[in-house]
């Protein structure tokens, strides 16, 4: 999905700060950008009436008050004539970027920055802008800064939207607005802005972020309203409290839009989602790149929040599917709807789920456009849209959608993630070898960060998913069906690096009586597998980090990671580990014969096939032959050399092996051939 550029409000999960209740105010999502922008309308925004505002043109109003903890933890005004710091700078703490060349401590980029803004400069209040001066500033962290408005009469305004422009960065801090309807005696409702799931530690909002919330059910129609802007620098841990800043400008109370919907998280479900129809008991992963042999039907769902002041009728989810190459619309799917949706209520995914769509099994890239519509908001004029992509490939299979949002991994000095694995549902056999029950794997491609150690060793292993459990990981009896160690080189930095699974071999061509080189991919039976990459950084403090795509929350076992303590986990709630760029390369059926048809075999035949335990090989031509039987994961069952006469039979005892598919290779006298034997 395209990332949100207009921020966002969410439920305050735990707010003391004199608040009695927390209200749910849902995220506002901006319309997606290219390439989907080319196929969307951008209607003119509805006119809204502002009935109270503050742009700090004359500083912090004298009718406002502050209540810091400690008392010196105060917001300050940055104006064109304030000294020693004016509106040309943002935070002036030691870690604000003021000492960079050039400085990076930007002021708030609001509509009226030229006449000033307000800031709670937590960084400066703790260290006074001096190096090695932790906790020696005017108001050391942990601290709380509360900036409180005068009383505002909204008795004539039953519908109210709060809007302001902002720039915030957190270390360990939260950002709240609390509301009072009794002139500031009690603050009974609190909203959290920019929660850590959207702005994690050491991250910031976009500069000039527009934040807004429909607060009609909190302060609408009240005559004695006070708002309190709160930088809460107390939720720290062993690494500290507070730090960084919150800047605010151009605060408005205004009429909310009449008709506006947007997508929202609801009861743990994401705003918009993919649903893959598969019998897989692990929960089918949300693959961004689907191999064309492994396609399953897809449906789409969403949760839609009525942000406007009018009740919406017949609220539905419409999903448009576009061909990305031609920008032509492939199909439109429309969900059932909520007949009536009151202001500030949500129509959720239990209703808003579309019919299924099965992508054609041909390589293509699709743009998926989600739209929230109603009788008052049509598909042509809705601003409630979100977009993602889906790739159908004839060679790759992956969770990622090509969005390199962050990197995850380890380094030798401070191990974090020491191994990561991705589930691949290989439910369908290779169609070129129908009846074999096999999928052929060419290798794995992994995208590494630019700081990855180019001498690192990477072990790639493939496990069956049976028995895997979080914390414990794979059962003690589990052995990989494939395992190989590779060493990176300089081409791995900031790029995809290939880890081939194939082995070199030779094939004899009876027509030309010559041998030719052959590369055989790894053959595995249909089923579900973990492909696990384990990192061994060899350089001092060597880093191994892999790009990650945060587009969608994945089901628990879609992507797993092992930490330095040996325990296995799934993705973080921050989506920092959801869809690593680990792309399985799937091959076509190899050149050697895997048919079980006896009349297709030249020079020898294998029978009975299937067999209950004894396998017979009948040779047409006498000579010396090497007979090797291996299972589908490469374990050698038998390897024997036999000298035979013409039309002689050699028996192979397979009574003690488990039922399954085995490969029988016969080499000698100009023959090099592999056939499949089914042991029942």
Based on the domain organization, do 303 and 382 belong to the same domain? yes
Based on the domain organization, do 500 and 645 belong to the same domain? no
Q: What is the token pair recorded at 94?
A: 């030691």
Span 490-497, average pLDDT: 93
Confidence of residue 179 (pLDDT cuts 50, 70, 90): very high
Confidence of residue 196 (pLDDT cuts 50, 70, 90): confident
Instruction: Tell me if residue 171 falls in helix, strand or coil.
Output: strand
Write down the pLDDT at residue 29: 28
Domain annotation covers residue 41:
no
- Model confidence at 506: pLDDT above 70: no
Span 401-418, average pLDDT: 82
Which CATH number characterizes residue 660's domain?
A: 2.60.40.3080
φ, ψ for residue 234, nearest 5 deg: -110, -10
pLDDT digits (tens, 9 = 90+) for 597-631: 333 344 677 777 778 888 888 877 888 888 888 87
Mean pLDDT check: name the lowest of 23-37, 71-85, 370-384, 526-540.
23-37
Mean pLDDT check: name the lowest of 336-345, 396-405, 665-674.
665-674
Instruction: Tell me if residue 329 falls in helix, strand or coil.
Output: strand
Highest mean pLDDT among 225-239, 492-506, 560-574, 654-668: 225-239
- Provide the residue range defining the domain that includes 454: 404-587
> Of the residues 227, 254, 281, which one is the last residue of a structural domain?
254
Write down the pLDDT at residue 533: 95
For residues 557 and 280, give the distance between their C-alpha atoms in angstroms, rounded to a whole number: 11
Span 507-530, average pLDDT: 71
pLDDT digits (tens, 9 = 90+) for 112-164: 999 999 999 999 999 999 998 999 999 999 999 999 999 999 999 999 999 99
What ranges make up the beta strands (E) of 510-558? 514-520, 522-525, 527-536, 543-549
Q: What is the token pair recorded at 494?
A: 């900031």
Mean pLDDT check: name the lowest of 33-37, 432-436, 593-597.
33-37
Mean pLDDT check: name the lowest of 53-57, 235-239, 482-486, 538-542.
235-239
Domain annotation covers residue 399:
no
Confidence of residue 574 (pLDDT cuts 50, 70, 90): low
Burial 629-642 (b: 16+ CB within 10 A, else e): bbbbbeeebeeeeb
Q: What is the mean pLDDT of the chain?
A: 84
Task: Considering only residues 530 and 512, tell me which one the structure prediction assigns the higher pLDDT.
Answer: 530
Q: Residue 336 pairs with which residues in a beta bridge?
A: none
Cis peptide before 610 (omega within 30 of 0): yes
What ranges make up the beta strands (E) of 4-87? 9-10, 21-22, 50-54, 65-66, 76-78
Q: Based on the structure, what is the number of domains in the chain? A: 4
Based on the domain organization, do 637 and 566 belong to the same domain? no
pTM for the predicted model, two decimal places: 0.74
CB proximity list for 300: less than 8 A, separation 6 or greater: 272, 273, 274, 275, 317, 319, 333, 335, 353, 354, 368, 370
CA dihedral 378, 383, 386, 391 (to 10 degrees): 60
Element (H, E) at 174: strand 174-180
Confidence of residue 509 (pLDDT cuts 50, 70, 90): low
Based on the domain organization, do 157 and 20 belong to the same domain? yes
Span 174-190, average pLDDT: 95
Instruction: Tell me if residue 92 falls in helix, strand or coil.
Output: coil
Q: Left (φ > 0), alpha (ψ -120 to 50) or beta: where does 305 sit?
A: beta
For residues 558 and 540, give the distance between their C-alpha atoms in angstroms, rounded to a whole number: 32
Domain annotation covers residue 39:
no
Whether the CA torsion 181, 183, 185, 189 is positive or negative: it is: positive
Which CATH number characterizes residue 356's domain?
A: 2.60.40.10
Write down the pLDDT at residue 138: 95
Domain annotation covers residue 658:
yes
Based on the domain organization, do 241 and 366 belong to the same domain? no
- Model confidence at 10: pLDDT above 60: no
Contact between 190 and 12 under an 8 Å Cβ cutoff? The reply is: yes
Domain annotation covers residue 654:
yes
Percentage of the chain lying above the pLDDT 90 cut: 54
CB proximity list for 99: less than 8 A, separation 6 or greater: none
Write down the pLDDT at residue 2: 31
φ, ψ for residue 124, nearest 5 deg: -65, -40
DSSP state of 57: B
pLDDT digits (tens, 9 = 90+) for 336-355: 999 999 999 999 999 999 99
For residues 674 and 661, give the distance between their C-alpha atoms in angstroms, rounded to a whole number: 13
pLDDT digits (tens, 9 = 90+) for 245-262: 999 999 999 999 999 998
Based on the domain organization, do 86 and 134 belong to the same domain? yes
Write down the pLDDT at residue 489: 92
Determine the straight-line distance between the first and last CA of the chain, rounded to whole angstroms.
Answer: 48
> Of the residues 370, 394, 418, which one is the last residue of a structural domain?
394
Confidence of residue 586 (pLDDT cuts 50, 70, 90): very high
Span 33-37, average pLDDT: 30
Q: What is the token pair recorded at 589?
A: 């059926």
Residue listed under structure tokens 């005559």: 223
Write down the pLDDT at residue 514: 57
| Distance, CA of 56 to chain centre | 40
Based on the domain organization, do 77 and 225 belong to the same domain? yes
Based on the domain organization, do 387 and 410 belong to the same domain? no
Domain annotation covers residue 1:
no
- Model confidence at 207: pLDDT above 80: yes
For 601-636, give the secondary structure using H, E and C: CCCEEEECCCECCEEEEEECCCEEEEEEEEECCCCE
Span 68-78, average pLDDT: 97
Q: What is the token pair recorded at 651?
A: 């028996």
φ, ψ for residue 557, nearest 5 deg: -95, 15
- Model confidence at 56: pLDDT above 70: yes
Domain annotation covers residue 552:
yes
Span 314-340, average pLDDT: 97
Based on the domain organization, do 552 and 429 belong to the same domain? yes
* C-alpha closest to that of 184 among 146, 214, 215: 146
Based on the domain organization, do 447 and 484 belong to the same domain? yes
Residue listed under structure tokens 């705003």: 271
> Of the residues 552, 587, 622, which one is the last residue of a structural domain?
587
- Model confidence at 648: pLDDT above 70: yes
For residues 197 and 511, give the distance between their C-alpha atoms in angstroms, rounded to a whole number: 65
Write down the pLDDT at residue 659: 81
- Model confidence at 508: pLDDT above 60: no
φ, ψ for residue 65, nearest 5 deg: -140, 165
For 412-459, give the secondary structure using H, E and C: CCCCCEEEEEEEEEECCCCHHHCCCCEEEEEEEEEEECCCECCCCEEE
Confidence of residue 516 (pLDDT cuts 50, 70, 90): low
Rg of the chain over all Cα atoms, to the nearest angstrom: 32
Span 534-544, average pLDDT: 85
Confidence of residue 507 (pLDDT cuts 50, 70, 90): low
Write down the pLDDT at residue 187: 96
Contact between 554 and 543 under an 8 Å Cβ cutoff? The reply is: no
- Model confidence at 102: pLDDT above 60: yes
- Model confidence at 424: pLDDT above 80: yes
Write down the pLDDT at residue 655: 85
Domain annotation covers residue 310:
yes
Based on the domain organization, do 204 and 92 belong to the same domain? yes
Based on the domain organization, do 636 and 569 belong to the same domain? no
């Amino acid at each position: 999905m395209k990332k949100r550029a207009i921020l966002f409000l969410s439920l305050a999960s735990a707010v003391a700060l004199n608040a009695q209740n927390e209200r749910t105010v849902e995220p506002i999502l901006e319309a997606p950008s290219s390439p989907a922008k080319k196929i969307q309308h951008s209607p003119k925004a509805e006119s809204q009436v502002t009935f109270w505002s503050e742009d700090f043109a004359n500083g912090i109003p004298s009718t406002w008050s502050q209540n810091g903890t400690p008392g010196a933890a105060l917001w300050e005004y940055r104006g064109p004539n304030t000294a020693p710091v004016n509106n040309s700078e943002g935070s002036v703490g030691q870690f604000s970027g003021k000492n960079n060349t050039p400085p990076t401590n930007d002021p708030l980029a609001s509509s009226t920055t030229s006449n000033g803004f307000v800031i709670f400069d937590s960084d400066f209040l703790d260290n006074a802008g001096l190096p090695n001066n932790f906790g020696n500033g005017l108001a050391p962290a942990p601290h709380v800064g509360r900036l409180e408005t005068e009383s505002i009469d909204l008795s004539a305004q039953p519908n109210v939207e709060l809007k302001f422009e902002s720039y915030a960065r957190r270390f360990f801090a939260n950002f709240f607005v609390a509301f009072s309807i009794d002139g500031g005696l009690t603050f009974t409702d609190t909203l959290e802005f920019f929660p850590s799931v959207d702005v994690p530690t050491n991250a910031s909002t976009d500069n000039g972020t527009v934040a807004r919330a429909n607060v009609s059910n909190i302060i609408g129609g009240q005559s004695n309203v006070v708002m309190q802007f709160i930088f809460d620098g107390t939720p720290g841990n062993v690494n500290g409290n507070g730090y960084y800043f919150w800047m605010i400008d151009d605060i408005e109370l205004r009429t909310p839009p009449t008709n506006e919907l947007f997508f929202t998280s609801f009861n743990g479900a994401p705003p918009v989602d993919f649903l893959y129809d598969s019998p897989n008991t692990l929960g089918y992963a949300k693959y961004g790149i689907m191999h064309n042999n492994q396609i399953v039907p897809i449906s789409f769902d969403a949760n839609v929040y009525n942000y406007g002041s009018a009740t919406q009728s017949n609220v539905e989810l419409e999903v448009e599917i576009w061909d990305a190459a031609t920008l032509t619309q492939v199909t439109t799917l429309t969900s059932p709807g909520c007949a009536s949706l009151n202001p500030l209520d949500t129509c959720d995914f239990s209703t808003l789920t579309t019919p299924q769509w099965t992508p054609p099994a041909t390589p293509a890239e699709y743009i998926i456009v989600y739209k929230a519509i109603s009788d008052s908001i049509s598909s042509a004029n809705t601003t409630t849209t979100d977009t993602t992509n889906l790739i159908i490939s004839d060679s790759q299979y992956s969770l990622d959608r090509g969005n390199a949002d962050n990197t995850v991994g380890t380094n030798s000095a401070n191990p974090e993630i020491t191994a990561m694995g991705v589930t691949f549902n290989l439910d369908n056999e290779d169609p070129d070898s129908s009846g074999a029950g096999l999928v052929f794997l060419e290798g794995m491609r992994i995208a590494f960060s630019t700081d990855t150690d180019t001498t690192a060793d990477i072990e790639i292993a493939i496990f069956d998913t049976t028995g895997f459990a979080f914390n414990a990981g794979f059962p003690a009896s589990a052995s990989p069906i494939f395992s190989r160690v590779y060493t990176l080189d300089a081409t791995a930095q900031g790029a995809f690096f290939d880890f081939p699974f194939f082995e070199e071999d030779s094939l004899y061509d009876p027509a030309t009586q010559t041998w030719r080189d052959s590369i055989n991919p790894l053959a595995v039976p249909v089923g579900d597998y973990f492909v696990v990459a384990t990192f061994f950084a060899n350089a001092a403090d060597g880093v191994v980090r892999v790009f990650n795509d945060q587009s969608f929350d994945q089901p628990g076992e879609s992507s797993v990671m092992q930490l330095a303590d040996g325990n296995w986990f799934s993705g973080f709630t921050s989506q920092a580990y959801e869809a690593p760029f680990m792309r399985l390369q799937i091959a076509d059926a190899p050149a050697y014969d895997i048919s079980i048809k006896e009349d297709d075999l030249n020079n020898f035949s294998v029978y009975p096939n299937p067999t209950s335990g004894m396998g017979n090989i009948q040779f047409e031509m006498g000579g010396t032959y090497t007979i090797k039987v291996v299972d589908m994961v490469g374990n050698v069952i038998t390897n024997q050399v036999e000298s035979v006469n013409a039309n002689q039979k050699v028996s192979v005892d397979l009574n003690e092996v488990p039922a399954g598919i085995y490969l029988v290779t016969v080499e000698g006298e100009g023959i090099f051939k592999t056939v499949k034997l089914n042991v029942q």
